[in-house]
């Protein structure tokens, strides 16, 4: 499985996904500004991966701070945290990661500034390791939805590249294959920046998982012919009512699934579930550079001066979602409130 990001000798090393699949190149980020640049420019992308990158960026940013007292140190860290949060607005994972670091610092003041600096590095590494474990659990819980011989459609990239490793949407697929089931993946190319084509197809091929690439507009035709058994996608932020915010085109896919009776599953680590936000319509949707639409691989494909809209994400209303597979259980969208209860039990209902 391909390595997305790691902390090496006080530097954040990330695979530059903007160059895949043509070039496998790792970028070394020696300061937090460079990490923020990497998140903005999609060198690293995918909600869990940018959460981890933000934590790592903040951890290396903290090492530069000259302060003796906790209050001084904590205050000096705020601009580092806010730089990370400002990179991309839609995925909740960056805020989740930063809030986790804030809470940890406040609970361990007694370690002193030196101890806290070391703790931040450890915690960023923990987040990476935990993320892989969380995804494996999503795989263990989600594997029951994939039968031998199934064809699974996915959108964008919610695989190893989008996470610490193993992926979220790919987790049940990987788990099914590990259990000896035959599974075929259909990857939507995912306009405008082709995460399905450049990333999902590439990573699955690296791991020997059968994959067929289609244009986004081909999904309906395949479903109509009965060629798709189920859909599994990731999420950048899922709201308390079960509305799922994910890569633009996810909504279209979900509506097609409903029309054709294809189950539509969302693989969501709890770090991507935002119970503080009531509905998907309240989630800020990132609008990206129009050139992502008009220029492909350096080649202009649209008339100069054309009006462009480029929302990077959309909202799939909860009514289209069959179930949300988290590491803490599988939930109907309307059951997400159960995540507030402890201990959380996996729903026993069938989906
Ligand atoms: O713009 P991107 O490539 O960061 O968008 C990524 C997605 O939409 C993924 O589906 C989502 O982050 C979930 S990744 C496990």
* Residues spanned by the domain of 328: 141-340
pLDDT in tens, 204-235: 999 999 999 999 999 999 999 999 999 999 99
For residues 258 and 170, what is the distance between their CA atoms, to the nearest angstrom? 21
CATH number of the domain enclosing 334: 3.40.50.10470
Q: Which of 235, 285, 310, 326, when mutated, tests ligand 1's pocket best, judged by the most ligand atoms within 8 Å of its CB?
A: 235
**All residues at 6 or more sequence positions from 114 whose CB lies less than 8 Å from its CB, including other chains:** none
> Is 347 inside any structural domain?
no
> Is 351 inside any structural domain?
no
Which pLDDT score, from 0 to 100, does residue 2 have?
Answer: 82
The number of domains in the chain is 2
Length of the chain: 351
Taking the centre of ligand 1 as the mean of its atom positions, its distance from the CA of residue 46, in whole angstroms, is 4
Does one domain contain both 128 and 261? Answer: no
Does one domain contain both 59 and 163? Answer: no
Does one domain contain both 156 and 300? Answer: yes
pLDDT in tens, the chain (351 residues): 789 999 999 999 999 999 999 999 999 999 999 999 999 999 999 999 999 999 999 999 999 999 999 999 999 999 999 999 999 999 999 999 999 999 999 999 999 999 999 999 999 999 999 999 999 999 999 999 999 999 999 999 999 999 999 999 999 999 999 999 999 999 999 999 999 999 999 999 999 999 999 999 999 999 999 999 999 999 999 999 999 999 999 999 999 999 999 999 999 999 999 999 999 999 999 999 999 999 999 999 999 999 999 999 999 999 999 999 999 999 999 999 999 986 665 555 567
Supply the angle between the helices 32-40 and 47-63 in degrees, to the nearest 10: 160
> Is 195 inside any structural domain?
yes
> Is 346 inside any structural domain?
no
CA 289 to chain centre: 20
Does one domain contain both 247 and 328? Answer: yes
Nearest CA to ligand 1 atom 10: 234
Does one domain contain both 258 and 325? Answer: yes
Taking the centre of ligand 1 as the mean of its atom positions, its distance from the CA of residue 73, in whole angstroms, is 33
Taking the centre of ligand 1 as the mean of its atom positions, its distance from the CA of residue 102, in whole angstroms, is 25
Q: Which of 188, 236, 243, 274 is catalytic?
A: 236
Look up 131 and say whether it is catalytic. Answer: no
**Residue at a domain's end among 136, 170, 205:** 136
**Beta partners for 232?**
265
For residues 246 and 285, what is the distance between their CA atoms, to the nearest angstrom? 10
CATH number of the domain enclosing 106: 1.20.120.420
174 close to ligand 1 (CB < 6 Angstrom): no
Taking the centre of ligand 1 as the mean of its atom positions, its distance from the CA of residue 158, in whole angstroms, is 6
pTM of the shown model: 0.97
Ligand 1 atom, smallest distance to 269 CA: 15
């Amino acid at each position: 499985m391909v390595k997305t990001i790691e902390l090496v000798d006080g530097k954040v090393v990330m695979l530059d996904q903007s160059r895949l699949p043509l070039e496998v190149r790792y970028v070394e980020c020696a300061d937090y500004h460079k990490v923020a640049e990497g998140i903005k420019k999609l060198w690293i992308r995918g909600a869990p991966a940018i959460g981890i990158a933000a934590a790592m960026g903040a951890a290396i940013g903290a090492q530069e701070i000259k302060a003796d007292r906790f209050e001084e140190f904590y205050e000096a860290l705020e601009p580092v945290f806010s730089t990370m949060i400002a990179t991309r607005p839609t995925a909740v994972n960056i805020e989740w990661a930063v809030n986790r670091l804030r809470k940890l610092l406040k609970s361990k003041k007694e370690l002193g500034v030196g101890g806290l600096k070391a703790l931040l590095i450890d915690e960023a590494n923990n987040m990476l390791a935990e993320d892989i474990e969380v995804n494996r659990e999503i795989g263990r819980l989600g594997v029951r939805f994939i039968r031998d011989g199934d064809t699974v459609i996915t959108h964008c990239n919610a695989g190893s590249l989008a996470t610490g490793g193993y992926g979220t949407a790919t987790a049940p697929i990987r788990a099914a294959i590990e259990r000896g089931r035959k599974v075929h993946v259909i990857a939507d190319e995912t306009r405008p920046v082709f995460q399905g084509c450049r990333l999902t197809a590439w990573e699955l091929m690296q791991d020997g998982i059968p994959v067929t690439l289609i244009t986004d507009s081909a999904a309906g035709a395949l479903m109509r012919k009965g060629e798709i058994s189920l859909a599994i996608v990731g999420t950048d932020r899922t709201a308390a009512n079960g509305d799922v915010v994910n890569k633009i085109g996810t909504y279209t896919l979900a509506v097609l699934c409903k029309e054709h009776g294809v189950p539509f599953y969302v693989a969501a680590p709890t770090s991507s579930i935002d119970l503080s936000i009531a509905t998907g319509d309240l989630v800020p949707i990132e609008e990206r550079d129009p050139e992502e639409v008009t220029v492909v691989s350096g080649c202009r494909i649209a008339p100069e001066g054309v009006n462009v809209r480029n929302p990077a994400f959309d909202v799939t209303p909860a009514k289209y979602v069959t179930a949300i597979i988290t590491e803490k259980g599988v939930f109907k969208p309307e059951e997400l409130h159960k995540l507030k209860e402890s201990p959380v039990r996996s729903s026993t209902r069938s989906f």
